[in-house]
Chain A
Amino acid sequence: MTSSMIQIEGLVKRYGTTEALKGLSFDVPRGQVVGFLGPNGAGKSTTMRILAGSLKPTAGKAKVAGIDVVEDPVEARRRIGYLPENNPLYEDMMVAEYLRYVADVRGLSPAERKPRLTRAVEACGLTTVLGKDIGQLSRGFRQRVGLAQAILHEPDLLILDEPTAGLDPNQIVEIRHLIRELGREKTVILSTHILPEVQSTCSRVLIITDGKLVADDTPEHLTAAAEGGGVLHVVLAARHGQLLELSKVKGLLAGMPGVTGVDEAESDGPGTLGFRVRFSGDDVRRTLFEVCVQNDLALLEVRRTQVSLEDTFRKLTTDARRAA
């Protein structure tokens, strides 16, 4: 028994001449909830399909709970529950009928079938729609059916490809809640490009671009590592009605220790100037105040904004693309 739930080593996938994965490697220990991030076309779904067994890699190794997905595909597939992108379902089947079908194909024994069906139905809140045709369900309920199908056999690993895509905000909150619940007992890997989702559900983030891993850390670390300090929005005016020189004021701000860049930003109208001050390391608001006093400037507004995961994501994925 290894403690790794997912081991991916040098994974390559080529579709014709395009290379979707270019030697991807990572390792996920048991019990983690991992967010898999990347722009469209980065190779998220390809990686998940390989793990789930519906796609064969061109080269490299992928193991689920220590079982190679190419060498022992059926055994590896027993260990996973998979919610594909777009959640395809048999529209003409009833919910109960469909779940029973999946249980049968998965070969659940008659003894374990019933309790597991009941548990999956309850966990996903499907009790009220069991007798409905899947084709008549709302997207939120469809997604729950997809999840119920994936957890039915109590797999070690849940692979969820964009589980909240196309849902309304209420449904998103519900599904996230469900995923968090499931994540207590299982290893989960979910792909998304909605960043708050990662911050609210995952303990680890993997960012891939162009088929390569560009970041692997906790959401908090990634946020902090992006740019150290942060950004200040500053609006200034003259204290005694004197004329303000843009370049001079900009120079004053840029000269403060710790400041890494100053851009013009929206002002508050005539006679005022707005700036975006980027800084690293310690807070510069105190220095900013001193500078204003010394130079006869009125500080109309100071607002500090945290660097979001979104900034990190954009920075990492565009940097990698530029380097390529």
Chain B
Amino acid sequence: MNGAIAIARREFKTFFTSPIAYIVLGGFLLLAGWLFFGTLFLAGQASLRGFFGLSPILFVVLVPAITMRALAEERKSGTLELLLTLPVPDWQVTAGKFLAALGMVAVGLVCTIPYAISVAALTGPGPAFDWGPVVAGYLGLLLLASAFIALGLWGSALSKNQIVGFVVGLALCFGFSFIDNFALLLPDALGQVLQFLSVDYHFENIARGVIDTRDLIFYASLTAAGLLLTTQTLAAARGTEGSPS
């Protein structure tokens, strides 16, 4: 695991040397904060439901923006060549990149904790603020982000172009978020399958405070699938990388 951790540490640091991290984090906090406090005062409800309803949609765009350069940049600059000759198995390279991106998302989420605290503070003296759904919501967001990161990494592994990485990641995240939108129009059985594939559906379950193993298994398998595809794409790069010279 040493290799993966070292790779993750380097990757995490480079996020903050490029403007992308600040744009993504700033954008997330600003949008989430604006929409959240907007609904909070309009609806006059001391809950984080607005925030948790919104974040999955923001993640569809923001997570691919975090992962887009992870492998594409290494390919473009040629450093992948060196990375592939270091004594670490391919899965550790993937794991390192994954952990770094997850760390980034975690930083963003930690920055939103003040929202939760201010909501708790605004709660009237009567019933105590219920932290259960908040904790569950954060857990759900992390799980959802994991799945998106794994998909985004695969997009980034596919080409040396960051934009391609972003678009593929965005398309996959978008697809898995809104796949159940037409479920009502479809036959029941098919609709249920689509609903099960929906990242949003499982998130809503968790955000309600019900932690069901089915939801956990769904996120774990989607994340694993993305990471496996990424690792496989890396391994395939060994067969073709570079031109004969």
Chain B neighbourhood of A49, CB < 8 A: 81, 241-242
In the complex, what residue of chain A is closest to B78 when comparing beta carbons? A88
Q: Which residue from B6, B78, B88, B245 sits with its C-beta under 8 Å from A74?
A: B88
Chain A neighbourhood of B239, CB < 8 A: 55-56
Chain B neighbourhood of A85, CB < 8 A: 245
Are B243 and A82 within 8 A (Cβ)? no
Please measure, in the bound complex, the distance between the C-alpha atom of A305 and the C-alpha atom of B244, giving whole angstroms: 36
Given contacts A74-B87, A74-B88, A92-B17, contact A107 B238 (CB under 8 A): no
Chain B positions 1 through 36: 1 when the CB is less than 8 Å from some CB of chain A, otherwise 0: 011011101100010011000000000000000000
Chain A neighbourhood of B213, CB < 8 A: none
Chain B positions 55-87 with a Cβ under 8 Å from a chain A Cβ: 77-79, 81-82, 84-87
Chain A neighbourhood of B87, CB < 8 A: 74-75, 77-78, 106-107
Are B245 and A55 within 8 A (Cβ)? no
Are A46 and B238 within 8 A (Cβ)? no
Report if A52 contacts B (CB, 8 A). yes
Are A88 and B17 within 8 A (Cβ)? no
In the complex, given contacts A53-B84, A74-B88, A92-B14, what are 12 additional A-B residue pairs having Cβ atoms less than 8 angstroms apart? A44-B245, A53-B85, A54-B81, A54-B84, A55-B239, A74-B87, A80-B85, A82-B85, A85-B245, A86-B78, A101-B9, A106-B87
Report if B175 contacts A (CB, 8 A). no
Please measure, in the bound complex, the distance between the C-alpha atom of A89 and the C-alpha atom of B82, giving whole angstroms: 9
A residues near B (Cβ < 8 Å) are 13, 15, 18, 20, 40-41, 43-46, 49, 52-56, 74-75, 77-78, 80, 82, 84-86, 88-93, 101-102, 104-107, 149
Please measure, in the bound complex, the distance between the C-alpha atom of A93 and the C-alpha atom of B7, giving whole angstroms: 13
Are B79 and A77 within 8 A (Cβ)? no
Q: Which residue from B2, B5, B85, B89 sits with its C-beta under 8 Å from A54?
A: B85
Q: Which 6 A-B pairs have the closest CB atoms?
A: A88-B78, A104-B6, A20-B244, A54-B84, A77-B87, A78-B87
A-B contacts, 10 listed (Cβ < 8 Å): A46-B244, A53-B85, A75-B87, A77-B85, A78-B87, A90-B14, A90-B79, A91-B77, A104-B6, A107-B3
Given contacts A54-B241, A92-B18, A105-B3, contact A74 B77 (CB under 8 A): no
Given contacts A41-B244, A77-B85, A88-B77, contact A101 B18 (CB under 8 A): no
Report if B240 contacts A (CB, 8 A). yes
Please measure, in the bound complex, the distance between the C-alpha atom of A80 and the C-alpha atom of B87, giving whole angstroms: 9
Please measure, in the bound complex, the distance between the C-alpha atom of A83 and the C-alpha atom of B203, giving whole angstroms: 47
Chain B neighbourhood of A101, CB < 8 A: 6, 9-10
In the complex, what residue of chain B is closest to A50 when comparing beta carbons? B238
Chain B neighbourhood of A107, CB < 8 A: 2-3, 87
Chain B neighbourhood of A20, CB < 8 A: 244
Chain A neighbourhood of B2, CB < 8 A: 104-105, 107
Please measure, in the bound complex, the distance between the C-alpha atom of A40 and the C-alpha atom of B244, giving whole angstroms: 9
Q: How many residues of B contact A (CB 8 A)?
A: 29
B residues near A (Cβ < 8 Å) are 2-3, 5-7, 9-10, 14, 17-18, 77-79, 81-82, 84-89, 238-245
Chain B neighbourhood of A40, CB < 8 A: 245
Please measure, in the bound complex, the distance between the C-alpha atom of A77 and the C-alpha atom of B242, giving whole angstroms: 19
Please measure, in the bound complex, the distance between the C-alpha atom of A52 and the C-alpha atom of B3, giving whole angstroms: 18
Please measure, in the bound complex, the distance between the C-alpha atom of A213 and the C-alpha atom of B206, giving whole angstroms: 64
Quick one: which of B5, B10, B14, B243 has the most chain A CB within 10 A? Answer: B10
Are B88 and A45 within 8 A (Cβ)? no
Given contacts A15-B243, A55-B238, contact A84 B81 (CB under 8 A): yes
In the assembled complex, the CB of B89 is this many whole angstroms from the nearest CB of chain A, namely 6
Please measure, in the bound complex, the distance between the C-alpha atom of A198 and the C-alpha atom of B227, giving whole angstroms: 45
Are B244 and A43 within 8 A (Cβ)? yes
Are B245 and A82 within 8 A (Cβ)? no
Please measure, in the bound complex, the distance between the C-alpha atom of A273 and the C-alpha atom of B244, giving whole angstroms: 47
In the assembled complex, the CB of A10 is this many whole angstroms from the nearest CB of chain B, namely 18
In the assembled complex, the CB of A238 is this many whole angstroms from the nearest CB of chain B, namely 54
Q: Which residue from B9, B10, B82, B243 sits with its C-beta under 8 Å from A84?
A: B82
In the assembled complex, the CB of A143 is this many whole angstroms from the nearest CB of chain B, namely 14
Are B82 and A82 within 8 A (Cβ)? yes
Are B81 and A102 within 8 A (Cβ)? no
In the assembled complex, the CB of B79 is this many whole angstroms from the nearest CB of chain A, namely 5
Please measure, in the bound complex, the distance between the C-alpha atom of A18 and the C-alpha atom of B240, giving whole angstroms: 12
Please measure, in the bound complex, the distance between the C-alpha atom of A15 and the C-alpha atom of B10, giving whole angstroms: 33
Please measure, in the bound complex, the distance between the C-alpha atom of A89 and the C-alpha atom of B209, giving whole angstroms: 47
Q: Which residue from A18, A44, A75, A88 sits with its C-beta under 8 Å from B82?
A: A88
Please measure, in the bound complex, the distance between the C-alpha atom of A41 and the C-alpha atom of B242, giving whole angstroms: 12
Please measure, in the bound complex, the distance between the C-alpha atom of A149 and the C-alpha atom of B85, giving whole angstroms: 12
